[in-house]
């Protein structure tokens, strides 16, 4: 980071596990706020330590960005990585020009947001059944509220968990 501090908020082991889960997934789902805040790449990296030495036998998972109003700028890191990126939006027409590896797909709105059930159904039609969500409390909370998550693997730094008010608290306060 520009201030000289590490950009990582989790441990080396947690990052390695995160990359292993990325490698196992057909797609990585994230939200516009996460990309705007972190400028994340959402790729599998450090393949040798993951036992994926031969990159020719591996493909990067599909990156899916939920960006209903196309807030993320076209020069964000997520759009310049190897592999394909889908921008899921509710905008029917747009004038943004993304790279050749980026497709913009419009989805209907539900309660003012992209219909996540429709988005996941579209991914299933594309034969993507393992979706890893790397997102903040808004998208994760919506997925939980709509009961669209099968399994939770939570990696969160304690210094982020202990802030007041905690944006994750309402997201994770749910009943089965």
Confidence grade of residue 54 (pLDDT, cut at 50, 70, 90):
low
How far apart are alpha carbons 95 and 73 in whole angstroms?
12
pLDDT at 173: 60
Confidence grade of residue 175 (pLDDT, cut at 50, 70, 90):
very low
Which pLDDT tens digit goes with each residue over 90-134? 977 677 888 899 999 999 999 889 999 999 999 999 999 999 999
What average pLDDT does the segment 8-29 reach?
Answer: 82
What is the token pair recorded at 34? 């996460």
Residues 103, 64 contacting (CB under 8 angstroms):
no
DSSP notation for 135-155 = --HHHHHHHHHTT--S-----
Confidence grade of residue 163 (pLDDT, cut at 50, 70, 90):
low
- Is the pLDDT at 86 greater than 60? The verdict is yes
Q: Which of the pair, 155 or 147, is modelled with greater confidence?
A: 147
What is the pTM assigned to this prediction? 0.83
């Amino acid at each position: 980071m520009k201030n000289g501090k590490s950009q990582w908020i989790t441990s080396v082991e947690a990052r390695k596990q995160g990359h292993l889960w990325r490698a196992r997934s057909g797609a990585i789902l994230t939200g516009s706020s996460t990309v705007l805040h972190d400028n994340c790449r959402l790729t599998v990296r450090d393949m040798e330590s993951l036992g994926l030495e031969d990159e020719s036998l591996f493909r990067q998972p599909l990156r899916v960005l939920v960006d209903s109003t196309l807030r993320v700028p076209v020069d964000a890191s997520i759009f310049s990585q190897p592999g394909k990126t889908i921008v899921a939006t509710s905008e029917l027409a747009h004038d943004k020009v993304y790279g050749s590896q980026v497709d913009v797909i419009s989805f209907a709105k539900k309660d003012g947001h992209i219909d996540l059930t429709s988005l996941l159904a579209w991914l299933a039609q594309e034969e993507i059944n393992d979706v890893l969500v790397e997102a903040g409390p808004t998208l994760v909370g919506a997925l939980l509220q709509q009961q669209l998550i099968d399994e939770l693997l939570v990696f969160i730094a304690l210094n982020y968990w202990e802030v007041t008010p905690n944006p994750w608290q309402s997201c994770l306060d749910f009943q089965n």
